[in-house]
Amino acid sequence: MRSTVPSSLVLVLGLAAGTHALPELAVSKRDGHLRASALARGVLRRDGGTLQTNVYDVLTWSSGGAYYANITVGTPPQPQVVILDTGSSDLYFDASSSTTCESSGQYSCRGGSFSPKDSSTYRIADPSPAFNTSFGDGSTAVGPYGKDVVAIGDVSIDNVQFGVAETVNSTTGYAIGLMGVGYSENEATQQVYPNIPEVLRDAGVINSRLYSVYLNDEATTGSILFGGVDTSRYTGELVTLDLLPDEVTGEVDQFITTVTALTATVGGTTSSLFSGGTNGVAAYGNNDIALPVLLDTGSSAWSVPTEYYNKLIGPAFPYVDSNGLCACSHADSSDSLTLTFGGKINITVPAHEFIIPLYNATTNAPIPYNSAGEMACAFMVVPASPTGEGFQTCGDAVLRSMYIVFDLDNGQVSLAQANLNATSSHVVTVSSGPSGVANAVGTASYSPAPSETYSIAPQAMNASASFSVSTMHSTLGEATGTAALPEDARPSGTGSTTEGTSTSSSSKGAAAAGVGVTGPFEWSRVWVAGAVGMGVVVGAGLVL
């Protein structure tokens, strides 16, 4: 879900650091200056019914950034980098023939582009402008829907439908393709089609429309796992909550839950900012203190109503200035936020997850904050105007501290405190049905949701959609830490490859054409914090 941060942050880089000329800041899914050489690697084979790959943080391209996945499309395979977004539903690629991709301008394509004429297996499913979508920042993508072979992990699937953006207008950053993994009902077409979670289920790769997100600490490697749960990646109980239905239709078709209470620990003192909120549709009302939130991997910040920020959150963090910046030394403090979701599960978020350093996009150097030589950090809890949909977005700043199981079939999410920097892995496959998660993790560490009667958006039904699956033979490298980053993406002073290990080069040009990604479904995620562009934008789900 793409939303705009207030103008106070838009102006910030022209105001901080005295005589230092600061580059402009943009927080946007489209701002991850991601090149083919930056494809994240690290694919591990898991139990049947799941697939996962390592994901990486890049701290020098933009502030907040997005999740990125390595996939290929076509015959022969054309490598693509796509944004992975729980806040939208379509898969689309930027067309090589688009003016944006042919240019070398400010917003030209950087995640690869797709040339239909160079694929022997491509066919048009619905002519242009059947795919026609727009974003809250004014960006648009228009073209046909096509079908072709798409390779994800170690799996190649034919007959997959996607949009081909022949006309691309990106207003806040480089144009890049997108893979939405929300409910297919929210696709940018009246004729909904099986999207990626549904294709994987229909093709027998996974058992149900379910995946788990483990972003991990902002400075290391995380993962997204389709079809299973990794019980080593969280602590305490895995608590299941029913998703809130759409305020108008009464149907569950987005990942909306509630923050029913919030406490802040600052300078060793813990204060309750609000409590007693309702877990349920009553949270949509103006008389309830609870905050309905969309759990959105495509948003970098937690957006809160301006009134909550000005009266509650802002005063609790007096060192954050009116532009939403502070000295990075506060990221190393013991300060934290604790959010209560659905009245059932507390998630504690340490300061370094929501106080994020800014880097000069040209030099990769930290940005000075004041004359004392302290570096600038962005406070990633931001005030936001009403969306008109009854909820705000809860992005990476909070999600990094959570382990989240998105269960589309059952209209639920299961949440736990993330076990940051876990050194082991224990992946269990989730079977279909209402007890799938409980059976996978065991009742001793599972808290079920109360019984609700909300209807759930059904899977797209397409009589002509049948999928043939084959296994890829090539496996990408297993680089971790700094070694996973292209050299020109490493913050100044980090050296070459002193962190992590790599079985293949991650320098420019390392991504080989036609090489698939393998494994049980975990995705290549690049989280980006830096300073580029001028508007500050958080998130990037489709606005339909």
Phi, psi at 403, each rounded to 5°? -105, 125
Instruction: Judge whether 208 lies within some domain.
Output: yes
CA angle 231, 351, 527 (to 5 degrees): 65
320 vs 510 pLDDT, higher one = 320
Task: Please give the sequence-ordered ranges of beta strands (E in DSSP) within 202-255, or none if there are none.
Answer: 210-214, 222-226, 228-230, 234-242, 251-252
Is pLDDT at 316 greater than 70 in this prediction?
yes
pLDDT score at 170: 79
Of the ranges 26-35, 368-377, 475-484, the best mean pLDDT one: 368-377
Mean pLDDT lowest among 133-137, 213-217, 311-315: 133-137
412 in a domain, yes or no?
A: no
Q: What single DSSP character describes residue 245?
A: P
> Can you give the CATH number for the domain in which 157 is found?
2.40.70.10
In the block, residue with structure tokens 């930056």? 38
Residue 478 belongs to what domain range?
Answer: 30-216+461-538
- Antiparallel, parallel or unpaired: β 210-214 and 43-44: unpaired
Conformation bin of residue 324: beta by default, left when phi > 0, alpha when psi is -120 to 50: left
* pLDDT single digits (tens) 453-498: 789 999 998 756 788 888 776 633 334 455 444 344 355 543 333 3
Q: Residue 136's CB: how many other CB atoms inside 10 A?
A: 17
Distance CA 171, CA 182 (A): 24
Mean pLDDT across the chain: 77
Dist CA 505 CA 476 (whole Å): 11
Contacts of 388 (CB under 8 A, 6+ apart): none
For residue 509, being part of any structural domain is answered with: yes
Q: Residue 7: which pLDDT band, with cuts at 50, 70 and 90?
A: very low
Q: Is residue 149, in this structure, part of any structural domain at all?
A: yes
| Integer-rounded Cα radius of gyration of the chain | 21
Say if 259 falls within a structural domain: no
Confirm whether 2 is domain-assigned: no
Q: How far from the centroid of its chain's Cα atoms is residue 133's Cα?
A: 19
Cα–Cα distance, 525 to 53 (Å, whole number): 9
User: By percentage, how much of the chain surpasses pLDDT 90?
Assistant: 49
pTM for this predicted structure: 0.81
Residue 171 has pLDDT above 80, yes or no: no
- CA–CA gap between residue 112 and residue 95 (Å, rounded): 9
Q: What values do phi and psi take at 53, rounded to 5? A: -145, 150
Let me know if residue 209 belongs to a domain: yes
pLDDT at 1 over 60: no
Residue 327 CA to residue 330 CA, distance in Å, equals: 6
- Helical segments of 311-400, H only: 314-316, 351-354, 396-399
Beta bridge partners of 446: 238
Q: How many residues does the chain have?
A: 544
pLDDT for residue 169: 87
Among residues 41, 37, 40, 34, which one has the least CA distance to residue 476?
Answer: 41
- Rounded-to-10 torsion of CA 454, 133, 60, 216: 20
Q: Is the dihedral of CA 55, 415, 544, 205 positive or negative?
A: positive
Whether 451 maps to a domain, the answer reads no
Query: What pLDDT score does 451 carry?
Result: 67
- State the Cα–Cα distance between residues 310 and 252, nearest whole angstrom: 31
Number of structural domains, the chain?
Answer: 1
Cα 359 to Cα 249: distance, rounded to the nearest angstrom: 43
> Which of 47-56, 113-122, 499-508 shows the lowest mean pLDDT across its residues?
499-508
Q: How far is residue 49's CA from residue 60's CA, in Å, rounded to a whole number?
A: 35
pLDDT in tens, 96-124: 999 989 887 766 787 789 999 999 999 99
Instruction: Give CA–CA dist 101/387, Å, rounded.
Output: 31
